[in-house]
Amino acid sequence: MDLDLVNRRVLVTGSSSGIGAGVAQEFAAEGALVVVHGRNAERANAVAEGIRAAGGQAAVAVGDLSNNEGAAAVAKAALAAFGGIDILINNAGGGSEIAEDVSFFKMTPEDLVYTYQANTVAAFRLIQALVPEMRERGWGRVINIASAAGITPTSAQPDYGPAKAAMINLSLGLSKSLKMTGVTVNCVSPGLTMTDRITSGMLTTFAQKRGWGDDVQRAKDYFVKGTGQTASRPAEVADIAYACVMLASPRADIINGTNFHVDAGISPAIN
């Protein structure tokens, strides 16, 4: 199927690594003009160079989205790169980077505020900076990368699930605010997704704590079989990327205000 994404201008926040890098690469493979973003300029440039080496077009915007100044600089650089942005993928974020302990009675209020800033408010800042021009042009896309944790909270990370739940709520409200404009707003909510951060970080630590040494595969199997998944494997980065290009395509003009679970069935829901 032709997804009709050639020359559409896309900003993928947090694409200097992990899911965002895969999403950026998939858009470039579809012929889109991609702005790669991260705080780490070296990593962001490496992703952009990889896209160019594969025949795609990519520029770079660098900045911290957890504050207004950083987000304004990112929006400015992204708009300048290809003369506008048609598709905004709000992917940057994750759990608290400042917390020493992510359990309920150890996290501080400041930890929670930071995660909200780096996920929900980061997305809000770029929506305010980039969506008015999409509305004027009569076409655009906002895709917010939330998480299965937004609707299926865990017993830890009281910062993360609520921040992602707020992104899901915000997305539906924004889709209503943009009704009849040609700009759609949807969420993609990944479950466990095999990024470097997950394999060399979370799964490695989990295996070590359980006395399994460096047996990451055993930790992976534990998560697949022991956390309510109904698919037989965890998501790969490409699974999230495919959902994003599909929702961004003009073929998906009619899909609006949804929360796409790309989570191996970990968050079952009737609607």
Catalytic residues: 160
Distance from C-alpha of 205 to C-alpha of 217, rounded to nearest angstrom? 12
Which residues contact ligand NAP by CB under 6 A?
Answer: 14-20, 38-40, 43, 64-66, 91-94, 118, 145, 147, 190, 192-193, 195, 197-198
Nearer to ligand NAP among residue 201 and residue 250 (C-beta): 201
Give me the residue whose beta carbon is nearest to ligand NAP. 18
Tell which residue, 126, 124, 66, 57, has the closest CA to residue 94: 66
Beta carbon of residue 198, minimum distance to ligand NAP (angstroms, whole number)? 5
Nearer to ligand NAP among residue 155 and residue 211 (C-beta): 155
Nearer to ligand NAP among residue 140 and residue 161 (C-beta): 161
Distance from C-alpha of 264 to C-alpha of 159, rounded to nearest angstrom? 23
* Non-local CB neighbours of 136 within 8 Å, separated by 6+ positions: none
Beta carbon of residue 181, minimum distance to ligand NAP (angstroms, whole number)? 26
Beta carbon of residue 180, minimum distance to ligand NAP (angstroms, whole number)? 29
Distance from C-alpha of 168 to C-alpha of 183, rounded to nearest angstrom? 17
Amino acid at 73: A
Phi-psi region of 148 (alpha: psi -120 to 50; beta: other; left: phi over 0): alpha
Distance from C-alpha of 17 to C-alpha of 208, rounded to nearest angstrom? 24
Q: What are residue 235's DSSP bridge partners?
A: 193
Beta carbon of residue 173, minimum distance to ligand NAP (angstroms, whole number)? 19
Helices 237-248 + 18-29 axis angle, to 10: 50
Q: Half-sphere exposure (CA, 13 Å, Cβ side) for 248?
A: 33
Nearer to ligand NAP among residue 43 and residue 218 (C-beta): 43
For residues 72-84, one letter each, b for 16 or more C-beta atoms within 10 angstroms of the residue's C-beta and e for the rest, the string is eebbebbbebbee
Beta carbon of residue 248, minimum distance to ligand NAP (angstroms, whole number)? 16
